């Protein structure tokens, strides 16, 4: 049986609100119960009012529970949240939350979705695709691409 992927932000606001304690409690209690989890510490999705936010990946979709605290972990695990079970803190699929669906994330599209210290996670989410494409182009083609984009400002701002 593969490990259940769980996500707890390592963002400063989330940490200030107890994310580190939540992550430690998840690891501790899951190990005591013989439950294999893969804890991933991405950046925050920006929903600070829900931090610490626990996301559990089930069938490729992440279900959110929040805000939750370290002292709630035994009850959360007993309720079956690692299987997506109902719970008072259950928010549902994170990508379908109204605050998320109203956004078009450009610069921060990967925040909260990947492990920021894992190159493999970044590449799997399409990271370096622009660099890879540029490496297959000539210098003149790159200059033309930038010119055609309409990019203005010093340093690409």
Q: pLDDT confidence of 8, banded at 50, 70, 90?
A: very high
Provide the H-helix boundaries in the chain. Answer: 12-16, 19-33, 73-79, 98-101, 119-124, 129-135, 139-149
CB burial string 48-81: b at 16+ within 10 A, e below: eebbbbbbbbbeeebbbbbbbbbebbeebbebeb
pLDDT at site 112 = 63
Query: What integer pLDDT is reported at residue 104 of this predicted model?
Result: 67
Residue 47: is the preceding peptide bond cis (ω within 30°)?
Answer: no
CB within 8 Å of 156: residues ≥ 6 apart: none
pTM of the model: 0.73
Does the pLDDT value for residue 156 go beyond 60?
A: no
Greater model confidence, 34 or 126: 34
Sign of CA pseudo-dihedral 118, 120, 126, 130: positive
pLDDT digits (tens, 9 = 90+) for 35-86: 999 999 988 888 888 999 999 998 889 899 999 999 999 999 999 999 988 8
């Amino acid at each position: 049986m593969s490990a259940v992927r769980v996500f707890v932000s390592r963002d400063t606001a989330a940490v200030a609100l107890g994310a580190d304690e939540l992550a430690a409690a998840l690891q501790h209690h899951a190990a005591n119960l013989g439950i294999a989890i893969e804890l991933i510490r991405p950046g925050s999705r920006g929903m600070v009012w829900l931090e610490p936010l626990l996301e559990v990946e089930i069938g490729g979709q992440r279900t959110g529970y929040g805000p939750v605290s370290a002292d709630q972990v035994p009850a959360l695990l007993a309720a079956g949240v690692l299987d997506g079970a109902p719970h008072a803190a259950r928010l549902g699929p994170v990508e379908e939350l109204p605050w998320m669906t109203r956004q078009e994330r450009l610069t921060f599209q990967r925040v909260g979705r990947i492990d920021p210290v894992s190159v493999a996670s970044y590449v799997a989410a399409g990271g370096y695709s622009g660099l890879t494409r540029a490496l297959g182009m000539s210098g003149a083609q790159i200059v033309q691409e930038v010119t055609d984009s309409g990019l203005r400002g010093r340093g690409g701002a």
